């Protein structure tokens, strides 16, 4: 059985557990395009000749480009942040403040990884003024993902990273490409959605527009689009023109201790 590779970032809604199912539905093609790359689990566990990986989060894209270009230097510098003295609330909030005040992409990439591993439950969230605002996570010994960083850098030799919206990313697609979309999910309840991780809301209008974009890009060209989302009456309606639907039950947790797990249905719609 093929070894699965974990992302070096913790990620709410990450697709590590679903990569086998997603891969079974992804058509063959020359290049995989991901407009919502997130932590990159599908990228890390699929096998295409090329990848175009996009995200609206500039910090995430900068981090990926730096790991791609100078992995050894980044790993050596990032490791210094994973120390007992840095695993304290006061130090975390000081580094978070420095991150929010800094415009240096390299410093921000180091602290982004640090906060991802030391902050609450792998959340990535910004306030309306663009400030990173995830609280301290209180972990005994945060894991430094060296092996995962090394694998990511190796796989990234096949990738191009861009910071753009889904419409702009779709515009790069050409015949033979496959697009996988993992947008922020439709909330299952009114209280289920937390503040957007990029500072840009992704509401019901955007959800419907993404489905429209999938229909448009696949209409007259040899391009396939696979979209994942919660399986709800509403998502079934907006993806009604997809040629194939697949529903799967998955365990979900946003509780730090992992004890509040419940099963939810996810929908995969292939255009």
Which residue ranges make up the annotated binding site for S-adenosyl-L-methionine?
11, 15, 55, 182
CA pair distance 123, 137, nearest whole angstrom = 10
- Return d(Cα 212, Cα 111) in angstroms, integer: 37
Q: Per the annotation, where are the binding residues?
A: 11, 15, 55, 182
Give the chain's radius of gyration (CA, Å): 18
Degrees, nearest 5: CA angle 218-35-161 = 125
Cβ contact 221:229 at 8 Å: no
Alpha carbons 75 and 153: distance in angstroms, whole number: 11
Strand order in the sheet with 177-181: 159-162, 50-54, 31-34, 177-181, 224-230, 262-270, 244-252
| Beta strands, E only, 77-213 | 159-162, 177-181
Helix crossing, 71-79 with 105-118: angle to 10°? 50
């Amino acid at each position: 059985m093929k070894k699965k590779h974990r992302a070096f970032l913790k990620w709410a809604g990450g697709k590590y557990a679903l990569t086998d199912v997603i891969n079974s539905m992804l058509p063959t093609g020359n290049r995989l395009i991901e407009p919502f790359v997130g932590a990159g689990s599908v990228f890390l566990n699929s096998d295409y000749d090329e990848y175009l990986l996009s995200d609206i989060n500039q910090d995430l894209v900068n981090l990926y480009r730096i790991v791609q270009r100078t992995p050894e230097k980044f790993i050596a510098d990032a490791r210094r942040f994973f120390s007992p003295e840095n695993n304290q609330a006061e130090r975390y909030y000081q580094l978070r403040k420095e991150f929010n005040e800094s415009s240096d992409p390299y410093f921000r990439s180091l602290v982004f990884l640090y906060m991802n591993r030391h902050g609450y439950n792998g959340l990535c969230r910004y306030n309306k003024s663009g400030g990173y605002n995830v609280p301290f996570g209180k972990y005994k010994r945060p894991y430094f993902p060296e092996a995962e960083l090394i694998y990511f850098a190796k796989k990234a030799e096949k990738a191009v990273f861009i910071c753009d919206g889904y419409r702009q990313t779709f515009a790069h697609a050409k015949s033979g490409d496959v697009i996988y979309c993992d947008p922020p999910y439709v909330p299952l309840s009114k209280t289920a959605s937390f503040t957007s991780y990029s500072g840009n809301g992704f509401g019901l209008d955007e959800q419907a527009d993404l489905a429209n974009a999938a229909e448009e890009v696949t209409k007259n060209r040899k391009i396939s689009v696979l979209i994942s989302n919660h399986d709800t009456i509403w998502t079934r309606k907006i993806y009604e023109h997809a040629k194939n639907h697949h529903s799967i039950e998955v365990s979900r947790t946003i509780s730090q201790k992992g004890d509040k797990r419940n099963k939810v249905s996810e929908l995969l719609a292939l255009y």
